[in-house]
Amino acid sequence: MLPKAAAISGVILAGGKSARMGTDKALLKLGPYYVIERIAGVLRTMVDEIVIVTDRPRRYAKYGDRTVSDIMPGHGPLGGLHAGLMQASHPWVLVAACDLPFVSVPVAGLMIHCAADYDAVVPRHRGYAEPLYALYNKRCIEVMEQQLVQGLGKITRSYDELRVRYLTEEEMSFVEPHLEQSFLNLNTPKDIIKAQALGAKL
């Protein structure tokens, strides 16, 4: 577990082009709130600041404390994660993509609980790592920067050189009974219909 005095930054990655959705996923509405607004609201219960990584700062500025852009652009989510880690005020960073409308407080709490002695804590869901709702330490920056210089854009590739604590579905299910909802990713219009149905129940 992290020390009680440990401060955590929140980073929302909002750099995608939403090509498959055909509209800005972060500004889709679920009930009375935009997706990015929901994510920011959840993160604020756990972090001391919210940094939004985006190339459209005016669009998203009001949802975070500040916006930053990629330091090494053109590398997708890894470039955004690198920029968020670089610009965050605190050593630990809770990262969420802007198309995960139901990010879970209990899962984040479990990440924080398991973080000591690791460089990152990453959930595994349906057999796959979930690098875009995970906890990272600034110690990851050097490895990720080397990867970016080499033109290797897959976040999970950096895990081979980091101390990563993976959360199992069994562990997460103990604190969060709605894992399918927590890791629902908005990629297509069908996904937003499903999310709107879930959002109406909240």
Which tens digit of pLDDT belongs to each residue from 112-137? 999 999 999 999 999 999 999 999 99
The answer to whether residue 105 sits within a structural domain is yes
The burial class, CB within 10 Å (0-12 / 13-18 / 19+), for 38 is: buried
The answer to whether residue 22 sits within a structural domain is yes
Query: Is the per-residue pLDDT at 202 higher than 90?
Result: no
Would you say the pTM of this structure is higher than 0.75? yes
**Domain limits at 69?**
8-199
CATH number at residue 148: 3.90.550.10
pLDDT in tens, 62-111: 999 999 999 999 999 999 999 999 999 999 999 999 999 999 999 999 99
The answer to whether residue 2 sits within a structural domain is no
* Best CA proximity match to 175, nearest among 93, 104, 78, 71: 104
pLDDT in tens, 148-177: 999 998 999 999 999 999 999 999 999 999
Counting the structural domains of the chain, the total is: 1
The answer to whether residue 47 sits within a structural domain is yes
Q: What is the CA radius of gyration of the chain?
A: 16
pLDDT confidence tier of residue 5, bands split at 50, 70 and 90: very low
Query: Is the per-residue pLDDT at 198 higher than 80?
Result: no
Token digits of residue 194: 């499903």
Q: How far apart are CA 52 and CA 56, in angstroms?
A: 10
* Best CA proximity match to 133, nearest among 153, 107, 159: 107
* Best CA proximity match to 182, nearest among 129, 131, 125, 135: 125
The answer to whether residue 120 sits within a structural domain is yes
Residue 175 has a CB neighbour count (10 Å cut-off) of 16
The answer to whether residue 3 sits within a structural domain is no
The answer to whether residue 1 sits within a structural domain is no
Query: Is the per-residue pLDDT at 49 higher than 80?
Result: yes
